[in-house]
């Protein structure tokens, strides 16, 4: 069981810096892996560039990988104004937005205890069309600057036509739950005596060398917005660093 928050049963008072625990978001399986404090939930979300969004159209669930970002308890994503997902979500749909990091493969001495280390957040809310002009203008820069701090000032500005073709969706995280496994092999006590190779193999999303556009003008240096994207770095750590730089909120 989680030490800091109760993890069983409906609407429970929670500290202000935590998400409420409800029948929807409580972590039923392996509740010791549950995390409801906002610092942890934010950190897991901020480490991801792509989330998976579950939504329902005509009774059919869809699970669509989507670039997204967070400002406070609010998530944003965007898409073509013509997209089926975006058109449906613009009307207001219940969704579940999930960000997941695979951190290690855990090889135990029995199949039952094979596992992976991971960090994930499932966030619940209802979608909303971003139709306020100021919020939309901020989002047009925000979805660039959140990932590449300051880059919106280094590139061509969005045209009116581009803005029209782009729809932004917002979702307040009314509930969210993080789940983390970050331990080592956890075998049944008797099994440690078995002559079986058991190990944890780390996995991370790693950045490679930037491959410049073949039509790049000569002599253009790597701009300030991209300094944190050094080859060999972990993408989740770069994205968390970008989020802390806070450009999206400006």
Task: List binders of a second copy among 204-223 (CB under 8 A).
Answer: 204-217, 220-223
C-alpha 136: how far from its chain's center? 21
Site for a second copy in 165-194 (CB under 8 A): 165-166, 184-185, 187, 191-194
Task: Rule CB under 8 A: say whether 40 interacts with a second copy.
Answer: no
The full length of the chain comes to 250
Backbone angles phi, psi at 197, to 5 degrees: -70, 125
**Range in contact with a second copy (rule: CB under 8 A) among 6-14, 35-43, 51-59, 130-138:** 51-59
DSSP per residue, 54-74 = EEEETTEEEEEEEEEEEETTE
Contact range with a second copy by CB under 8 A, out of 13-21, 69-77, 154-162, 240-248? 154-162
Considering only residues 89 to 148 of the shown chain, the ones binding a second copy according to CB under 8 A are 94-98, 100, 102, 105, 107-112, 114, 116, 118, 120, 122, 124, 140-141, 143-144, 147-148
Beta carbon of residue 91, minimum distance to a second copy (angstroms, whole number): 15
Least CB distance from residue 177 to a second copy, whole Å? 11
Q: Which is nearer to a second copy, 15 or 201 (CB)?
A: 201
Cβ neighbours around 234 below 10 Å, total: 14
User: What is the SS3 assignment for 126?
Assistant: strand
Q: Fill in the per-residue mask, 1 to 30: x = in contact with a second copy (CB under 8 A), - = not in contact.
A: -----------------------x---xx-
Sole binder of a second copy in the list 4, 199, 249, 250 (CB under 8 A): 199
Cβ-in-10-Å burial (0-12, 13-18, 19+) of 190 comes to exposed
Alpha carbons 197 and 145: distance in angstroms, whole number:
46
**Distance separating alpha carbons of residues 220 and 212, to the nearest angstrom:** 10
């Amino acid at each position: 069981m989680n030490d800091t928050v109760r993890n069983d049963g409906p609407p429970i008072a929670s500290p202000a810096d935590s998400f409420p625990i409800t029948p929807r978001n409580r972590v039923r399986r392996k509740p010791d892996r549950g995390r409801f404090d906002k610092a942890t939930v934010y950190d897991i979300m901020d480490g991801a560039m792509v989330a998976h969004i579950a939504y329902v159209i005509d009774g059919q669930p869809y699970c669509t990988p989507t670039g997204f970002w967070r400002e406070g308890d609010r998530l944003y994503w965007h898409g073509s104004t013509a997209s089926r997902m975006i058109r449906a979500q613009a009307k207001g749909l219940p969704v579940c937005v999930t960000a997941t990091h695979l951190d290690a493969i855990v090889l135990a001495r029995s199949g039952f205890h094979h596992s992976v280390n991971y960090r994930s957040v499932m966030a619940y809310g209802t979608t909303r069309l971003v139709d306020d002009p100021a919020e939309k203008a901020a989002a047009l820069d925000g979805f660039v600057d959140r990932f590449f701090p300051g880059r919106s000032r280094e590139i061509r500005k969005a045209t009116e036509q581009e803005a029209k073709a782009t729809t932004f969706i917002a979702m307040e995280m009314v509930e969210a739950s993080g789940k983390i496994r970050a331990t080592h092999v956890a075998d049944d006590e008797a099994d440690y005596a078995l002559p079986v190779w058991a190990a944890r193999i780390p996995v991370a999303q790693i950045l490679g060398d930037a491959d410049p556009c073949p039509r790049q003008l000569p002599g253009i240096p790597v701009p300030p917005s991209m300094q944190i994207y050094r080859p060999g770095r972990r993408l989740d750590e770069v994205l968390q660093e970008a989020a802390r730089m806070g450009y999206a909120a400006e």
